[in-house]
Amino acid sequence: MKPNNPLQVLKAAPRYATIPIKRWSRKAPALVVFIGPKPLWGIAIKDRPAARLICRTPQISQFEFNMSLAPWILADRRASVVTVDAAPGYLKTFCQRHRVPLSVIAPPKKKASTPAAAKPKPVIAQPSVPNWYNRDQGVLLKQALRGGRPVFLYMPWIPEHGDAVIEALVDDGYALAPFDLIRDVADNIIRREAFRFARQHPDLYRRMVIRRLAPIAGQVSGFILTFDWAPITRIIVEACKVLGIPTILVPHESAFISQSLYYRDPLTNASMPACDVTLAWGQLQKDIFIFRGYEESRVHVVGAPKFDTYSNSTSQIDRDRFHRLFGLSPERSTILFATQSLDSQTDTQVARSSQRAAIRDLLRYAETHDGQLLVRLPPSRDDILGVPLRQAIAASDHAAVDDGEYYLMGPEETVRHVDVVTSINSTMLFEGLMAGKPAISMRYIEFDSIWDDTGVAVARDLNEASDLLDQVFGGTWARDDDLLQGAAKMFGVGQFDGKAASRIKTFLRDQGPNLRDLAGNTALDRVKRGLRIDIAAIPQNRPLQETTQKYLRELINANTLLRSPPKPTLANAAAFSGVDVFLQWGAGDTPEKIAQRAFARLLGKPTVVIEDGLIRSIDIGLSLSPGLSLLVDDRTAYYDATRPSQLETQLQAGPELSSEERNHARATIDKIVSARISKYNHAPDGTIELGRPAVLVVDQRMDDSSIALGIATADDFERMVLAALAEWPDHDVIVKQHPDTSLGGRPGYLTPSRLTNAAINSDRIRMVDQAINPHDLFDLVDDVYVVTSGMGFEALMAGKRVHCFGLPFYAGWGLTDDRKLTRRRSRSRTLEEVFHFTYVRATRYFDPETEELVSPEDFVDFMVRQRDRPNPAIQQDSPQANGDLTA
């Protein structure tokens, strides 16, 4: 183009004229305008293969830009502009005025010469901080913090949704201040860009949030959110927990297509509120959240502020003026269709095509019955209509559109002035009933309707819709107040009294100072307390997932268990940003465990170490039977003596047991011993013929990680046998081999050949390699010798003296004869105390028959029933029992 040619105005005029129509067309890919040197055009095209790219040099004038590029940019609401080095002033002004994303990239640096033999290391690209990020406090936030009243932050989002809820909560008793993290958040394009950024780069977004929250954490009373299932807000909640800021959820929506998909992020699977307190609409919302594990004590039913207006306010405009605003006739009957984005609960294309079909049918009815249709587009500004339907509505004398870009009327005022409310599933259906208007759910896709018991009619096609509309306009429709009263329990406090906002205000005024007691209820805290968490993740291992880890999700008490890649990277961050805790099986370092912990730290998530419980199942783990108990520690494995585990910390510095806890521990120990339950419940009862008294020496398999982490070596096993022989010269020494050695062929430390090689020869040594109940052995011996074996604690419960040649979890507390010591364990603990902290507090038990977590004593009863059955069901679950495992 020749610069500044006035004739170009003639070419640009029709381009500008078609902007309103083309702006909503999505047939072509999003437009990207690249302004930079010609040598970089090829790189720009290569980096953006899916975009429509227009390239111009930096010398483009403002006139040329306005004539040749501006119309194309304005005609695509998804358009963005990229410049190299610096953007011209007129371009910055244009992008800011029209809210077009503008990115400025640095010119590529010249590459230094690299020797041919040198191979560059792969580098993970770090995203830059986006232009919409607001690093500094805005005026409103500063004023609120200096105002002297309690301050509650809120996240500005969609003006007609969450922001409308916040506006209803304004009160003189406190200040509501915007957490202005996102500049121009009301703009749909910027909001969607921020939503995607938080999803795709949760690590960077988390740092951005903390940078803004940390300086003011001590100055605010809480943070109010209207949703927290998506990363954009859930990461804020997680940051608040770390910083000690209470979080309050006031949901802006309660309608859903599917209850299982309601309040669920389709990518991360987050489904349970993360906020400290939830102020729910009614019993339905409360029941859903409680079913997913949210504590009932943290849910308060207050009603829906959006319904208050139907009890408290009057119309601000009459019917005549309302209709004339849209170019409609006040004399005609008016059908309202409220569209929805539905993008998080169903297939977006199916949802939109079904809405278009419903709108076409309603338009056809309006045109043939001298009525009129008003289509209200969603506040998310999604293009529900598409170009053909939009043009058909524009050409009709019987229809109009209220666009989310610039609503002419609010939802309440709109409902009051139409004659019937229709939608797929919008809350406006129920609002219509409250306003005394007929409501029809255009169920052109099947879903779990929450409106069936409220008096909302259902139409699945044009014929059904026509019949219902004929009734409405024929004057035969009447609201069923009994059904409306039932809905008052589902979506309110039992009545729609117009006081939902007042109840929330009272809660914030009265409970605000006490909310800090609830703050910091992190996912890790919930894991420690055995409460439900939303999502856990563990490295993928499909064979284990289907065998030994079959009940892992239930044992960790999570709604969802994700399987992460063995070595996750930033590329996996989007899918795993909703994870509450990452799980690591066992202590020790492997490349996979190191990568997983690094990934968890990147996302600001804790890692929890898990191990089979000390009463695992009927069969041993080597058989691949599902584990039914899980020992959880947030620091390291319970058997790791190289550093303090959570279990060790509780035993060293934790509280004394109450009399109730002590009695419970004693009773459970007695039940375990009398039922002869142990870690090795596959072993039958048996007898061993002895000619003289005996002591027991317990062998372990050679790859048992508890040995090295228990500060022991192979030499300690030899020393243990020699000590037993020397200290009990008149006794036989029974050497019990590990079941994995005798049944699975894994080498142990005290095999006959190894004893011979160590020059340990004695006719008093009795090798026991067959399966036998450990309690049968305890009955035969006076003392028990172990290195780090868990059988040592079972022997303690059975009343035997135990000698430890390593540092198992039960050594160092005054219960055992310890041949190795650690200064960290200086407190004396009773058998009941060690049992309580290990078997009760740190371990979870799952009953696959009831599919519930159970107490240790109930689990013992289950194990006895399973063991005493001819064909234990739990053994049938194992591949070995089904002939799927070959030795």
CA distance 281 to 289: 12
Distances in whole angstroms, Cα of residue 569 to Cα of each of 110, 124, 582, 592, 599: 28, 9, 14, 11, 7
CA distance 550 to 146: 55
CA distance 338 to 355: 9
* pLDDT attached to residue 680: 85
Strands 801-804 and 420-423: unpaired
CA distance 319 to 326: 11
CA distance 336 to 812: 75
Residue 339: which of 388, 374, 387, 391 has the closest Cα? 374
Q: Which residues of 570-585 are buried (b: 16+ CB within 10 A; e: fewer)?
A: beebbbbbbbbbbbbb
List CB contacts of 533: < 8 A, sequence separation 6 or more. Answer: 293, 523, 526, 527, 556, 557, 558, 559, 580, 581
Helix ranges, 676-810 (H) = 705-708, 714-727, 739-742, 752-757, 774-780, 791-797
CA distance 153 to 171: 14
Q: Which amino acid is at 218?
A: G
**SS3 labels along 433-487:** HHCCCCEEEECCCCCCCCCCCCCCEEECCHHHHHHHHHHHHCCCCCCCHHHHHHH
- DSSP H/E element including 364: helix 348-368
Q: Please, which residues bridge with residue 56 across strands?
A: 35
CA distance 419 to 421: 7
Helix (H, G, I), strand (E, B) or coil at 693: coil
CA distance 598 to 397: 62
* pLDDT attached to residue 494: 87
Q: Please, which residues bridge with residue 299 across strands?
A: 278
Residue 329: which of 389, 369, 368, 370 has the closest Cα? 370
User: What domains appear along the chain, each with residue ranges and CATH number?
Assistant: 8-105 (3.40.50), 139-304 (3.40.50.2000), 315-491 (3.40.50.2000), 522-638+856-887 (no CATH), 678-841 (3.40.50)
Residues 376, 412: contact at Cβ < 8 Å? no
- DSSP H/E element including 390: helix 386-395
CA distance 125 to 203: 13
Residue 106: which of 122, 87, 120, 89 has the closest Cα? 87
CA distance 250 to 236: 15
* pLDDT attached to residue 333: 95
Distances in whole angstroms, Cα of residue 155 to Cα of each of 204, 234, 284, 813: 18, 11, 25, 51
115: Cα within 13 Å, side-chain hemisphere: 2
Residues 575, 597: contact at Cβ < 8 Å? no
Residues 29, 52: contact at Cβ < 8 Å? yes
* pTM score of the predicted model: 0.79
Q: In the structure encoding, which two tokens stand for residue 601, read together?
A: 């730290």
Residue 73 has a CB neighbour count (10 Å cut-off) of 21
Distances in whole angstroms, Cα of residue 613 to Cα of each of 430, 567, 620, 638, 657: 51, 27, 12, 10, 22
CA distance 156 to 141: 12
Q: In the structure encoding, which two tokens stand for residue 768, read together?
A: 């026991």
Residue 634: which of 680, 693, 670, 584 has the closest Cα? 584
* pLDDT attached to residue 345: 60
* pLDDT attached to residue 633: 96
Residue 275: which of 152, 141, 149, 137 has the closest Cα? 152
Residues 443, 458: contact at Cβ < 8 Å? yes
Q: Tell how far CA 559 is from the center of its chain.
A: 9
pLDDT block averages, 10 residues each, the chain of length 887:
55 72 66 84 72 81 83 84 82 82 74 45 62 93 94 92 92 96 90 94 96 96 96 97 95 77 90 96 93 95 91 84 95 94 70 91 96 91 87 94 87 94 90 90 80 83 94 85 80 90 95 78 90 93 81 96 89 92 92 92 96 88 80 96 97 97 98 94 79 94 92 96 96 90 76 83 88 93 97 98 98 98 96 98 96 97 88 42 26
* pLDDT attached to residue 20: 67
Helix (H, G, I), strand (E, B) or coil at 21: helix
Residue 126 has a CB neighbour count (10 Å cut-off) of 9
List CB contacts of 163: < 8 A, sequence separation 6 or more. Answer: 156, 157
Beta strand spans in 240-333 (E): 247-249, 277-280, 299-301
Residue 128: which of 210, 204, 34 has the closest Cα? 204
